[in-house]
Amino acid sequence: MHGTPKQSLALFLAIMAIAAPSEAEAQGTATLGVPRQGRIVPASQITTLASPGPSSPSPTLPKATLGTPRKTPASCTHVETNCLEKRFAATTQPVCYAQAREALQLSREVPIYHDVYKPQSWEPYIVRGSVDESYLQGVPGSNSFHTAGTGPAPPWDWFNRTVHDTGLGQYFEWFQIRNTFQSDHAFDEFVSPVTNPFFFEDPRALTELRPVFIFQNTPRGNPLFRGGNIQMFSLQGRLALNERLSIVVPKLGLIAFQPDPPSPLGDEIGFAEIIVGPKLTFWRDDAANVLAAFGVHFEIPAGGGDVFQNTGSGAVVPYLTLGKELLDNLHFLGAIGYRAGFDSDRSDSFFVSLHADYEFYRIIYPFIEVNWFHYTSGGNVLAGNFEGGDLFNFGSTGASGEDIVTMGVGGRVKILGEELQAGAAFEFPLTKGKDIMDWRITIDLIWRY
């Protein structure tokens, strides 16, 4: 080749720019609002598709199930550019997908990124899962291949809509109710936190019943309880309207306490206040194993006055919760929120909760959790400089500026996979100020759909 070095370098760069696939093609980069962006699959997980026989001229394509990427043959000897668009005559050769890149890119169901036929160098590659409603609900995907955007569009149906619009249409789908009410199982490797159970919310859209039992010992130096015990039984409920939108009821139950002498209180039991609100999972990317949700809790003071569950007119609690998986078995969750009373009777507070767990065999999850409550203003009900954490809102006049940080250690066990789980944690304060917690044991059981 003749020419200056600059001309040769420019020609080389131009050829490389044309030949190399874009980063989005090579990595299947996830974008906000687009579900199921896929995972990197090693060659060890690729299985060979059975060869079609004389009685079945059209090959049976692999189906997708929830959380499982589609699989392709480990080797190809039959090469045809449009092999997925044509019916095959009887052959003993396996069907090859490597040369069907153009056809696969047009399909919304199994885009597979290959540029050349290299049967010995198929590791790793990216398989994107189906984004249709059946896939998100765990139903095996369709075997039909089609060009995106073709075919008649179904009518608008808030309970069963399968149209995938471009632009802002995908965001409107976040609020469409799906009549299966199934939990989002695309992130089953995560587990829900245990401590701070009424405000530390899982970022996934879940359908479940979760009884929670708390046994808490109070400090002897607390002027109200003088070292007694507190018990709380709550039946939590969550309903996934789709894979992003859910309704959460984290606090509904009974609370009791038995203070020690010389406490001014006696033994009491009564209904707890109610907490309810919506949650929207706005970031949902299982390629990067990241998800985040925004929600709002409403604290309804409908409980008993003898157990401090009817303070003021209630409160609103906006919060943000997120999750991230690292190294396939290390998981992090975090939540941040603010409890703002509707009147001056209640104390206002800011909270942060953190969770880290390590997975063993998809069954056992030991974890560490940390919770921080900071009171930004006191109430007008109780003369004191302490508050009740996640159990009470006393409306203490001197609570402003008080902090309590606690640590919980424990574990969760998946007894029957996602359907039945149990968790337990032992929690204790890290700060000098203990409010009403000397130590606490929290136990829960989850039935999840």
DSSP 8-state assignment for residue 123 = -
* Per-residue confidence band for 403, with pLDDT thresholds at 50, 70 and 90: very high
DSSP 8-state assignment for residue 106 = H
Res 9: pLDDT: 57
Lowest mean per-residue pLDDT among 22-26, 198-202, 315-319, 409-413: 22-26
Count of helix runs (H) and strand runs (E) in the chain: 5, 16
The ranges of the chain annotated as CATH 2.40.160.40 are 185-448
Would the CA dihedral through 269, 273, 279, 285 be positive or negative? negative
Q: Which two tokens stand for residue 103?
A: 């056809």
Contact 242, 204 (CB under 8 A): no
Q: Among residues 442, 353, 364, which one has the least CA distance to residue 191?
A: 364
Average pLDDT over residues 166-177: 74
* Per-residue confidence band for 178, with pLDDT thresholds at 50, 70 and 90: confident
Res 210: pLDDT: 98
Tell me the per-residue pLDDT of 252-265, one tens digit each, with 9 for 90 and over.
999 999 999 999 99
Share of the chain above pLDDT 70, in %: 62
Q: pTM for this structure?
A: 0.66
For residue 250, pLDDT over 80 is answered with yes
Contact 442, 195 (CB under 8 A): yes
Res 172: pLDDT: 76
Phi and psi at 445, nearest 5°, equal -140, 135
The larger pLDDT score, comparing residue 404 to residue 13, is at 404
Number of C-beta neighbours around residue 289 at 10 A: 17
> Residues in the chain, how many?
449
For residue 27, pLDDT over 60 is answered with no
What is the CATH topology of the domain spanning 185-448? Porin (2.40.160)
* Per-residue confidence band for 273, with pLDDT thresholds at 50, 70 and 90: very high
**Angle ∠(11,15,18) on CA atoms, nearest 5:** 140
Lowest mean per-residue pLDDT among 239-243, 270-274, 284-288, 436-440: 284-288
Number of C-beta neighbours around residue 269 at 10 A: 13
* Per-residue confidence band for 318, with pLDDT thresholds at 50, 70 and 90: very high
Res 85: pLDDT: 36
Lowest mean per-residue pLDDT among 61-75, 228-242, 325-339, 389-403: 61-75
For residue 3, pLDDT over 50 is answered with yes
Contact 154, 161 (CB under 8 A): yes
As a whole number, the mean pLDDT across the chain is: 76
* Per-residue confidence band for 166, with pLDDT thresholds at 50, 70 and 90: low
Q: Which two tokens stand for residue 250?
A: 């984290």
Distance (Å) of CA 377 to CA 300, 347, 348, 371: 19, 6, 5, 19
Q: Which two tokens stand for residue 55?
A: 């009685």
Burial 370-400 (b: 16+ CB within 10 A, else e): bbbbbbeebbebbebbbbbbbbbbbbbebbb
Four-point Cα dihedral 26, 36, 418, 414, nearest 10: 30
Res 13: pLDDT: 59
* Per-residue confidence band for 122, with pLDDT thresholds at 50, 70 and 90: very low
Lowest mean per-residue pLDDT among 169-173, 295-299, 339-343, 425-429: 169-173
- For 62-90, the DSSP string reads PPPBTTB-----S---B--TTTTTSPPPS
Res 286: pLDDT: 83
For residue 118, pLDDT over 90 is answered with no
Tell me the per-residue pLDDT of 56-86, one tens digit each, with 9 for 90 and over.
444 444 444 444 443 434 444 444 334 333 3
Q: In angstroms, how far is CA 15 from the centroid of its own chain?
A: 43
| Ranges assigned E (strand) in 44-192 | 125-127
The distance between the two most distant Cα atoms of the chain, rounded to a whole number of Å, is 99
For residue 369, pLDDT over 80 is answered with yes
Q: With helix as H, strand as E and coil as C, how does 27-48 read? A: HCCCCCCCCCCCEEECHHHCCC
Contact 122, 74 (CB under 8 A): yes
For the chain, the helix, strand and coil percentages under 3-state DSSP, each to the nearest 5: 10, 35, 55
The larger pLDDT score, comparing residue 317 to residue 131, is at 317
Contact 143, 61 (CB under 8 A): yes
The span from the CA of 101 to the CA of 421, in Å, is 42
Contact 124, 42 (CB under 8 A): yes
For residue 341, pLDDT over 70 is answered with yes
Res 35: pLDDT: 43
